[in-house]
Structure 1
Amino acid sequence: MNHPTWRTVILSPHFDDAALSLAGLIPGLPGPVAVVTVFGGAPAAHHPVSWWDSTCGFSTPREAHRARLAEDARACLLLGAHQLVLDHPDGPYGDGAEPTGIDRLLAALPRDAAVLVPVGSNQPDHQRVRDRALAVRAALGAPPPLLYADLPYTGHLPEWGTDEADRALARSPMCGLAYQDLLRTHRTTVRHHLRLTDAQWAAKREAVLCHASQLAPLAADHGSLLARTGPLRAELVWSLEVRG
């Protein structure tokens, strides 16, 4: 795997995570940009449909996968990003194996390429992606990846979208535990804190709407998901430094 022209690579655990968490920032990141869905592999035919996919209206796992793949392609096109999908199946359809496709991807990148990984808030698959990327970058002798806040999870902080968001996440028992775990081994510095303008919000909303198959269940869990003042209204990215 060799993609030497990519200057920014975003590891998105699932098909909607990059759009939900970073659609406002992606157009301004150094390009070319690649959005890499880690758990984007096709499910094996023998699996029954998962609870989540059934709730989203699908009858079979492969029907859900085909729809999500097409949704992601549309979102990436709108965001001006290259779509790349690793072959690890999503959680309900996987075997619990480590997402080793991350290793090959990161080893093929230039040392100075920017890699963005999720904090891991309230989602075990997100934390697996984060921890794997941290370990691989360290083994390669490359700088740590950048860290992005997982939305909509972190967007439920009362301080979200304010200058207090970073400090609030560092003490929140609701959605900050993964961030607090990381702080034991790394120092963080806010690199981007975007409060979306009306124009940025409109563009983000269009990209998020591409992932239509999951929006109704997400809204059931996260309330006013698509409201201008909802959890997606701000985006936060940190740089990392390993503690000595």
Structure 2
Amino acid sequence: MKNILVFVCITFCTMILAQNESDKSDLKVRYYMVMAPDSTLLRNENEASVFSYSLLCNAKKSIYADEGAKKYYDYLHDNAGNYGVLSVNSVPRSKSSVYKDGDQIIATLPIGRKDLYRFEEPALKWELIKGKKKTILSYSCNLAKTTSDTGKVYYAWYSPSIPISEGPFRFKGLNGLILEVYNEEKSILITAVEIAKVSELIEPLKYVNIFDVKDKSKFLKKRKEVMEDPNSNNLQSKYRATGPDGQEIKIDRRQSTVKVKENNLLD
């Protein structure tokens, strides 16, 4: 009986250890994402916005997010969503993330300034382009092309010498690590700037408030509504504008100069 208990204990500990190891990263890849208002990205970088992300990954799991987002949401989760004690500088520039577990790719993306939506991304189908080579961070890369489920065309440089089928955002599934991605309009460029061997925990970001829609079509529908009418959620605002005579000025809240450009939608 004693031997059986020892065997069960050893087996259980081995299973826990194996599970913990599967949640640890093999690599950390830092990427810069450059977004331009139109196709001027490669011609006028002064008009572009630059974001910094990191990818923690192993052969089965990964998390891709703003480098400060994990710390930010860990704090909110552990402090009951108390935003008041955080400085403006601690808020990450991007609240989006992509978590991969096996074949499942879960994206969390914002709509508007506050709302976050989580859904599953379909896997991309890649077309390998022969005869194209490029060196990124001293790694020889091949070129591939894909068309997303929303009809957008992307190109990716990947390195077979790093045999992990991973990459930034939802761009995964090639025979090697993706080190650079850009869209057909050349308004978005994501490129690796550093690769390191690290052992860190791979887990989803601990968002405090989130709409878990599961079906991506619901996210796309809601995003389209907000793009066409950015102020649709503010129609019941208690604030009113008045003129010099004290009369209320009627404002069409459905008119807004804030528009999201189609070329900057990364899906």
TM-score range for the pair, normalised by the shorter chain length: under 0.3
- More strand by proportion, 1 or 2? 2
- Give the alignment's TM-score, normalised by structure 1: 0.25
- More helix by proportion, 1 or 2? 1
